[in-house]
Structure 1
């Protein structure tokens, strides 16, 4: 036996984000099918992911026998310098009139979509992620007056990711530092379509 010191690459920055709306809704509202177009934007400032769930200890014979963990969803908070207007309107379930008027606030129902993002690490390493089943919760922004010195103004959206398969998974991703990172996979191939299964990944690479 020997001890090997690992030196994983540290995170440098968030990269592009990707969004693809779901299609062909079933009785649960999510079929795992998506529209043809995937939208890429490179306006992201910050992404924060938090888990919604609970952890309960099970006691027996005066001590903790087991711990029950329940994870209901994940909230993805995205801060960006700008978001595409039509994408936000669609994700919020807004009514878009043919004359250009956008009305929001009513409970019209919101569509599911897949959300993807890139995490860039030092030495050219990276993580590519898909959250296949998401819904937009809200968008917030703060606008201030223009002054002599430039002041950056941003918008923040909150996205909720739900489990997309029977196992209860929320995310599919690949890490370039993993020994099993698939050869021939590029960012464009990975994000050309949401990845839900190992078969989807093989298709993205080129199939076997």
Structure 2
């Protein structure tokens, strides 16, 4: 499919598909391919989007809303066209802006909360299961704020490091503290996941062992 930003004529709104303001209303026009299986999938999508729109008329749930749909007959066949409210960047764009080093925990919590609210609404209210969850399909309400871009995480300066008893490297400032405390691999793994850094083979093995231990309990 191809998606275009379109201006909706004979309408007024706040520029995000919401009527009632003075600015022009814009929408995201999705033009589906004309092959029969694409057409069938688009019509199924419209049915689901109509259910969402009907169940969330007050727009309290963080889900994308259907504005309109129609069919266009062209030289290559019939194309189903879906008009959605215009949203902003996707989550992958935000991840890339932070150079895959992890995004601020406050933002992580906000995205997680909204995503879970939307999924709970779809599942509990409409018995709909989202089958294609990925960063590209999680959209923000607008462009990524310039403030977030300015606060991109900078690479940490290398510090003098030494190894502890387990062969793991510690920064000089933490060596004395760690010597008096036991090392918890799962805590370090969780920290690495939050920071966006990839796990080493040894850390992956420790994580799998912990998961097996929890499953056996």
Q: Which has the larger radius of gyration?
A: 2
Q: TM-score, normalised by structure 1?
A: 0.32
Q: TM-score, normalised by structure 2?
A: 0.31
The structure with the largest helix share of the pair is: 2
